[in-house]
Structure 1
Amino acid sequence: MADDVTREAATASAAGAAPAAWAATGNVVGSRRRRRGSGSPWERYGWLMAALWLVFLIYPLMALLRSEAAQMWITTGWIALGAFVVIYVAGFMNGMSFGGGGLTTRPKPIQWVAFGGMIVSAALTIPSVGGSALSFLPFIMSFASYGLTRLAHWLTLAACVAVTALVVFLTPQGPAYLSILAIIALLGAVNTVSTSLIIRSAQAEELGLELATSEGREAVARDVHDLVGHSLTVVSLKAQLVRRLIDSDPERAKAELADIESLTAEAIAGVRATVAGVRSAALVEQLDSCRDALHSVDVAMRVEGDATALSPAQSLTASWILREATTNVLRHAGAGSVTVHIAPGSFTVIDDGSGFAGREGSGVRGMRERATIGGAMFDVRTGESGGTRVEVTW
């Protein structure tokens, strides 16, 4: 009869560790939900599951009822059993370790206090329940695995296996607890694998977040580079023109200064909108802006086709490509004219300047990245009759 009770206690105690794994899984993802203020029914009432699983501590309880130890030790056993239950349920209610799991965050001091309290409580029942105190070990193991550090997991696992092995092989009733030893070893393997998967999942999630943040920063940097580079190039050219005109044609110089003021205001607004993630320049507006910028330095721009031939998403990509291509013409090409071809699924910018040198600077790389993000093919080369041909196709 004692052997049957022992085997049942071993099986039940091992099963009682399962909620710890569930709590730990919730810590990795659910902690973010708690920070956002959400409170799912599981987060509010999950502690009830912990309380239900503690029913398997009925075996130490039965051992206390049958105990023939001194009354002092029996009373101590009852108090210790109650303390163990309270600590375990409280730990479960607060994410398996009083405010956060140790799998992905540093355990708080209260977690170590709770862990020590569970060990002391279990130890105080030994004089009154004897080997039945081994029923506490699966709960202690799971607390260490999911609520503390990896080092605590390994040390607790080794200690629990060692203690159970000593009881099995060095005490007269040891063989009756052999099944507990097997279950503790199995539970240790399960905890090791499951916590490793949880940690790797959290690391993958964190890496994905870092990658997304990095990509977002690169996108903002690219937007600001394209916008500011274009605007400053035009402003610089207009400022040079103003310097030449200020004595010979003051009225035109004033007009150019007004254009500079307008361009800088637009650039500032554009940078602010880009950083806020809401910039969306229309292709029609960009065509007008680039035409004005080129005209200011006596470069003619001709548009063949209709801007509405492209979808909104394609127009956005084309707008950024046109902006950067115009900046390159102003800075490097020495062109006299620029032709823009627009057709369904195709956008091309051709100038009659010095041609493509073959080296991709930041501007060309930026255009290629823009096209890739927009799901388009990008090509830049020297045109058939000279100059540079920039082509985007979807």
Structure 2
Amino acid sequence: MPEIAPRVANSILISVLTGISLNAVIGIIFHSGTFWRAVGTVACVLCLVALQLAYVSRPTARKTWQRTTLVLLAQAVLVWAPIFVFGPRWHGFTGLLAGSVLVLLPAVLAWPLVGVVLTTIVFFELTKGANLVAPLYAVTYIIVGTMITALVIYGLSRLVQLVSDLHAARHELSRMAVAEERLRFSRDVHDLLGLSLSAITLKTELTNRLLDDHPERARKELEDMLVMSRRALADVRMVASGKRELSLDEECRQAQSALSAAEVDVRIERDDRELDGPVGTVLATVLREGVTNVLRHSEAEWCEISVRDLDGKVRLVIANDGVTVNGSSPAPNAGNGIRNLSHRVSRLGGELTVETEPDGRYLLRADVPLAAAGR
């Protein structure tokens, strides 16, 4: 499960804190032997561990300077005040305080404060008695133990933070992948099915008009509709599978049929070069969407389509009349179709432009480098 890593990191931190706490508590209770000292020890330890887990080592805690200062002051009181009661047996918790300082403060402030913690321990040990030899051994032992505890607390706290960040990053990547897949599906459905459904609608209207006077031609149109519906079904399956390859030759034939059914005078000119792979698919998509726009958004009487090789690139041009609105190059506020096409063409290093002339002539041009065919 994705959540297991943060749980393991937190479990390790809790286990280490529990071990440090139990070691100190058992030693103090064993040597003190009084009920109230035992209660006071347990209360202080619980408060220290609660502050550590709830704020210092908690990745989701909202850390501010004010809260950090209060937490460190509270930990300092809980660490230093019991020393005067329990003595050296409480020194294990100075490492907890030093570790919290390293976790919560920037290095330029943290290390001097850690030095203050260690100096305070040295001062306490050296002023306990007149014999300096034994305290020197004790001081060395306590300093090393304090630093080991501090670095362990710091390392485990950072581990919990890093694992939590990694888990959040994985979750965000998963969310973005789902969003990207939804966007891909939306683009493919829009670009692939638009022309098929528009052509089926036109063929249906044409067939309805021809049924009485021209039954044979109506039958021919019905056969075309059957082919188009099967093609639309194949497109849906292709979108669902994520494998998207279109034939420019087939799209030219479909464009001829759809525009003729709409009584648009259509002329298609293209070079003999065979285009397949990414370039052919992208140009076929541009052609399909361009013809769909002619059928949906214009009152065209003629449409010219050309595919030409030009200086190491392929240029597809769709021109038609009957446009009554001003057009512009693809922009953030453009329709989804133009935005989708611009995105697809630009991914191959090409360029998509849209122009509308005052006389209602509309021009859609896509330039795609031939070098993109090898991608």
Structure 2 residue 272 is matched with structure 1 residue 306: yes
2:81 aligns to what SS in structure 1?
helix
In structure 1, list runs of 5 or more residues that go unmatched: 1-25, 35-42, 74-123
Which residue is equivalent to 2:181? 216
Which residue is equivalent to 2:23? 60
Which residue is equivalent to 1:262? 227
CA distance in 1, matches of 2:2, 2:319: 59
Paired residue type of 2:247: A
1:351 is matched with which residue: 316, 319, 329? 319
Pairing 1:144-223 to 2, within 5 Å after superposition? 150=61, 161-168=76-83, 170-171=84-85, 173=87, 177=91, 179-180=94-95, 182-186=97-101, 188-189=103-104, 190=154, 195=160, 198-223=163-188
Pairing 1:256-295 to 2, within 5 Å after superposition? 256-295=221-260
Paired residue type of 2:305: T
Q: 1:146 to 1:373 in 2, by over 3 A?
A: farther
CA distance in 2, matches of 1:348, 1:62: 81
Paired residue type of 2:182: R
Native 8 Å contact 1:350 1:387 kept in 2: no
Q: CA deviation at 1:199?
A: 4.3
Which residue is equivalent to 2:128? none
Q: 1:307 to 1:207 in 2, by over 3 A?
A: farther
Paired residue type of 1:167: P
Q: Number of matched residues?
A: 302
CA distance in 2, matches of 1:390, 1:302: 14
Q: 1:182 to 1:276 in 2, by over 3 A?
A: same
Q: CA deviation at 1:321?
A: 0.5
What per-residue deviation string (whole Å, max 9, x for no partner) do you get for residues 51-104 of structure 1? x989x869939975995566x99xxxxxxxxxxxxxxxxxxxxxxxxxxxxxxx
Native 8 Å contact 1:160 1:184 kept in 2: no
What per-residue deviation string (whole Å, max 9, x for no partner) do you get for residues 286-317 of structure 1? 22222222233343232321352x46112221
Q: CA deviation at 1:172?
A: 6.1
Q: 1:272 to 1:27 in 2, by over 3 A?
A: closer
Paired residue type of 1:171: V
What per-residue deviation string (whole Å, max 9, x for no partner) do you get for residues 325-383 of structure 1? 11112231514232222324223223242357316433323322332344421111147
CA distance in 2, matches of 1:283, 1:59: 75
- TM-score norm. by structure 2 comes to 0.61
Q: CA deviation at 1:166?
A: 2.5
Structure 2 residue 355 is matched with structure 1 residue 381: yes
CA distance in 2, matches of 1:210, 1:141: 32
Provide the alpha-carbon RMSD of the alignment: 4.8
CA distance in 2, matches of 1:272, 1:158: 65
Q: 1:28 to 1:145 in 2, by over 3 A?
A: farther
2:305 aligns to what SS in structure 1?
strand
Which residue is equivalent to 1:252? 217
Paired residue type of 1:173: G
- TM-score norm. by structure 1 comes to 0.59
2:198 is matched with which residue: 229, 233, 242? 233
Native 8 Å contact 1:336 1:353 kept in 2: yes
Paired residue type of 1:264: S
What per-residue deviation string (whole Å, max 9, x for no partner) do you get for residues 128-171 of structure 1? 9x79x97x9679946986689638x9899886554223313x42
Q: 1:179 to 1:242 in 2, by over 3 A?
A: closer
Q: CA deviation at 1:180?
A: 3.2
Paired residue type of 1:180: G
1:330 aligns to what SS in structure 2?
helix
Native 8 Å contact 2:269 2:306 kept in 1: yes
Q: CA deviation at 1:175?
A: 10
Native 8 Å contact 2:353 2:365 kept in 1: yes
Structure 2 residue 291 is matched with structure 1 residue 336: no
CA distance in 2, matches of 1:379, 1:58: 70
1:393 aligns to what SS in structure 2?
strand
What per-residue deviation string (whole Å, max 9, x for no partner) do you get for residues 214-238 of structure 1? 2321221121122232112111211
Paired residue type of 1:262: V
In structure 2, list runs of 5 or more residues that go unmatched: 105-153, 329-333, 369-375
CA distance in 2, matches of 1:361, 1:68: 80
Q: 1:66 to 1:195 in 2, by over 3 A?
A: closer
Q: 1:68 to 1:210 in 2, by over 3 A?
A: closer
Q: 1:174 to 1:186 in 2, by over 3 A?
A: same
2:218 aligns to what SS in structure 1?
helix
CA distance in 1, matches of 2:345, 2:76: 60
1:357 aligns to what SS in structure 2?
coil
Q: 1:62 to 1:156 in 2, by over 3 A?
A: closer
